[in-house]
Structure 1
Amino acid sequence: MAIPSAVRETLNARLEELRARVARVEEDLRQPLDDDFGEQAVDREDDEVLDAVEAAALAEIELVEEALVRLDAGTYGVCTACGDEIAPKRLEALPACRFCIGCAERADEANA
C-alpha cells in the first residue's frame, strides 16, 4: 500500500499539538493553591481532570510515535496483531491506529 506523504505531516502535527497540550497541563498543575480552603478543594478537583487529560494525551503521544516508527519501517498500515492491511478509510480516520477493525473489536471485547 502506498502511504501518502501527508500521513507523516498529519502525525507530526498531531504530535506537536499533543505535546503542547501536555506542556499546558503541566504548567497549570504547577500553579500554587489558593489560600482559601474552599478554592483549594475546587483546584484539587480541577487537578484530577487535568491529570486525566494529561494521561490521555500521553497515551496518544505513544500511539503517534509508534505510528511514525512503523512509517519509517515500512509497516505503517499493517495490523500489528494479525499482519493484515488496515483499511485506508480507518487509517484516514485514525492515522495512528495499529489494529485492523477486526483486531480492534476483539481487543475492545477482551478489555470490556
Structure 2
Amino acid sequence: MNSADYKARLQARQAELRRRLERIETDLDEPRNPDDDDRAVERNNDEVLEGLGDAGQRELIAVDAALGRISAGTYGVCARCGEPISEKRLDAVPHAALCADCAASA
C-alpha cells in the first residue's frame, strides 16, 4: 500500500473520530434527569463516555501526527530507531509511529 492509500485511510478515520467525539460531547452536555436513581446511572454512563472520549482524543492525536508525517515525508519510518515500519504493522495500525520492536520495548 502506498502513502496515498494510508493517507486516505487516516483521513477517513480522522473524520470518524471527530464525529464520534462530537456525539460524545453532545451526550455529555444533555440535561440530567432529576431522579436520583436515574442520575446515578447517568453518572456511570458519563464515566464510560468520558473514557471513550479520552481514548478517541488520544487516537485522533496519533492520526493527526501520522498525517503530519505523511506531509513531511517521514511516514513509515520509526520515530525511535529510524528503521522502516513494516507494511503489516501499518496495515493494522496506520497511525503507528514506532516499528513493532520499538513499540514492544516501550
Say if 2:84 is the partner of 1:102. no
CA distance in 2, matches of 1:19, 1:100: 26
Shift of 1:81: 0.7
> Alignment partner of 1:81: what SS?
coil
CA distance in 1, matches of 2:7, 2:45: 34
Alignment size in residue pairs: 106
* Unaligned 5+ runs, structure 2: none
> Alignment partner of 1:19: what SS?
helix
Q: Which residue of 2 aligns with 1:16?
A: 15
Say if 2:84 is the partner of 1:81. no
Q: Which residue of 2 aligns with 1:110?
A: none
CA distance in 2, matches of 1:16, 1:22: 10
Q: Could you tell me which amino acid in structure 1 is paired with residue 93 of structure 2?
A: L
Q: Which residue of 1 aligns with 2:25?
A: 26
